[in-house]
Amino acid sequence: MAATTNAAALPRQLSQKEADIQMMLAANVHLGTKNCDFQMERYIFKRRNDGIYIINLGKTWEKLQLAARVIVAIGNPQDIIVQSARPYGQRAVLKFALYTGAHAIARRHTPGTFTNTQFNS
């Protein structure tokens, strides 16, 4: 994978490393589905013979950096809410909250959770 275009502006710790790519490959981060939404096309590297789309890990790395910068900019980790109702995302949500101090919701979204202040979850 090629390094990000603005790699010179990044601190050394945030630069893309071979070990990072190897971990993403081992976790199958690069494997998509057989369906590709038109908005996802710019993140697709190619399509395998069996129809599975392969995600560009260079662009994935860039988006991870952007997300990390946004999260770090938030002063109080308790102000961050991370949610997944899908079984395959719940473990990630709980681990993220454990390591960052964010609030995790690893279940179905209940309407009014954010807007109804009298609602107790």
Question: Within 13 Å and on the Cβ side, how many CA atoms surround 81?
Answer: 7
pLDDT tier for residue 9 given thresholds of 50, 70 and 90? low
* Domain spans, the chain: 7-73, 76-121
C-alpha angle 24-104-60 in degrees, rounded to nearest 5: 25
Question: Within 13 Å and on the Cβ side, how many CA atoms surround 25?
Answer: 8
User: With pLDDT > 90 as the criterion, what percentage of the chain qualifies?
Assistant: 67
Q: DSSP secondary structure string, 85-103?
A: -SHHHHHHHHHHHHHH-PE
The reported pLDDT for the residue numbered 1 is: 44
The reported pLDDT for the residue numbered 2 is: 46
Q: Note the pLDDT tens digit of each residue in 48-98.
A: 999 999 999 999 999 999 998 999 999 999 999 999 999 989 999 999 999
